[in-house]
Amino acid sequence: MSQPTPPQNDGSVTLQLPVVPSPPAVTPVMANAAQARQPMIEVRNASKRIGDVDIVSGLSFEVNAGEIFGFIGPSGSGKTTTIRLLTGVYGPTEGEVRVMGVAPSHPSRRVQEKFGYMPQLFVLYPNLTVQENLQFVASLYGMSPVLRQKRVSEMLKFVELWDARNRVASNVSGGMQRRIELAASLLHHPALVFADEPTAGIDPVLRGKFWEEFRRLRDDGRTIFVTTQYVGESEYCDRVGVIRKGRLIAVDTPIALRRLAFGGDIIDVEASGLTLGTVQSLTQLDMVKEVQPVSRRQIRVSVDEAGPAIPAVLDILSANNATVSRIEEYRPNFDEVFIVLMKQDAQHRGESDLANDE
């Protein structure tokens, strides 16, 4: 694994002047035109009831081939149930789930051979060595002994477990066990990887490595469906689905979700000579939705889109003799975005607070 880029957990990016809107964190790379046309995953109004409880209901979304699709929600919101619906462990009580064009609850081996699955917990054998565990998983996918040996060696080196290959799995750290699971899910070059909270409980450096690998796989044309509790990791995804209490409340790109939460982009301005006239002038602009004074030297401007709005705001400030010391797009971190979305959904459902969300 090459030197990773540490993840930025707050999700914010500070821009220096001249200000330009930041591009999406990731760009989906489609393996080919056919893949681009055909959604890898299609979920139509799917529900899963266990006993008398609706674990998830009314799920509808698509995941395109060659993208990282993040599935974010609080603990107990239905992420693992959704991944089980997609992998075919569960069949939907209602609605339809199609993965690679087939219902995963009635999968063909050919389709299953293209799945990679990284469960939430370590589910391999504690009495086997790291290498034996990977050999076992490779055999499950029917890999020949020669190919198996080659791939296991490659993956052991890739996840930096080569030196630990002969240690029994029960004697390696939790982080190492997650790496074994990651390696196991990728051994057979899957076209579609399901990763259920792959970064839960591991250190930030390792988390960064995982995301780097997901991006590499995505760039290689593979599709990643990943659930996470770390809201900040949404930035690494091409698109994100937000789930709360078994219902999908939003599906979009990370930037679009932020706009959805806050009604557009926000520009923070710090300047001397700010007056009421300056504020009024700013509100005259079509692209400005609202101007909020924060202090005598600071205002927060809500716009549809920060990129084209910043030059216009600078012009108005200059025209009103305000001396700008700092202007930047305020990018609320995804924790804030997430909380706002959760609150909006709670309000929409007529719930008083988020106390019941874990």
Which residues would be at the binding site for another protein (CB under 8 A)?
A: 50, 84, 87-91, 105-106, 109, 112-113, 115, 117, 119, 121, 123-129, 132, 135-137, 139-145, 168, 194
Nearest CB to another protein, comparing residues 142 and 311: 142
Report d(CA 129, CA 152) in Å as an integer: 12
Q: How far is the CB of 77 from another protein (least distance, A)?
A: 19
Write out the DSSP string of 52-88. TEEEEEEEEEEEETT-EEEEE--TTSSHHHHHHHHHT
For the chain, report the end-to-end CA distance as a whole number of angstroms. Answer: 34
Q: Which is nearer to another protein, 33 or 146 (CB)?
A: 146
Distance in Å, CB of 195 to another protein, minimum: 12
Name the minimum Å distance from CB 342 to another protein: 29
Closest CA to 223 of 34, 65, 32: 65
How many CB atoms within 10 Å of residue 150?
Answer: 13
CB of 92 to another protein, least distance (A): 10
* Closest distance of CB 172 from another protein, Å: 14
- Using DSSP's 3-state secondary structure scheme, residue 343 falls into helix
Give the residue with the Cβ less far from another protein, 143 or 217.
143
* Residue 75: CB minimum distance to another protein, A: 18
Q: What are phi and psi of 99, to 5 degrees?
A: -125, 125
Among residues 100 and 137, whose Cβ is nearest to another protein? 137
Residue 117 or 230 having the CB closest to another protein: 117
Buried b (16+ CB within 10 A) or exposed e, 18-53: ebeeeeebbebeebeeebeeebbbbbeebbbeeeee
Instruction: Read off the DSSP letter of residue 231.
Output: G
199, amino acid identity: T
147 versus 294: smaller Cβ distance to another protein:
147
